[in-house]
Amino acid sequence: MSSIKSNFIAKDFARRVKQRRKTLMLPLTQLAKNLGVSEPEYTQIESGSRPPSRKLLTQISIELRTSEKWLIEGGY
């Protein structure tokens, strides 16, 4: 996969995570705490500069009450 495409996918993922967190009115600080990661680490994930581990992706989907598939691919 090209780095441009990878970056685009990462940014889309990050946008969906942030959108969902805000829809649930869940503060970034609280979500980071619930996930057991530091705020800076979570901010990197939500900005698209660092992908989450597979385990963390699962935890994020649980906390945000959505599917991993939607976070990764979007759609309905």
The C-alpha atoms of residue 58 and residue 53 are separated, in whole angstroms, by 9
The model's pLDDT over 9-45, given as tens digits with 9 standing for 90+, comes to 788 999 999 999 999 999 999 999 999 999 999 999 9
Q: In CATH, what is the architecture of 3-73? A: Orthogonal Bundle (1.10)
Domain residue extents for the chain: 3-73
Distances in Å between the Cα of 2 and the Cα atoms of 7, 27, 28 are 9, 33, 30
Tokens of 16: 């969906």
The pLDDT value recorded for residue 7 is 61
* pTM of the complete model: 0.86
The model's pLDDT over 53-73, given as tens digits with 9 standing for 90+, comes to 999 999 999 999 999 999 999
Which of 61, 59, 55 is CA-nearest to residue 20?
61
Residue, of 7 and 23, whose pLDDT is higher: 23
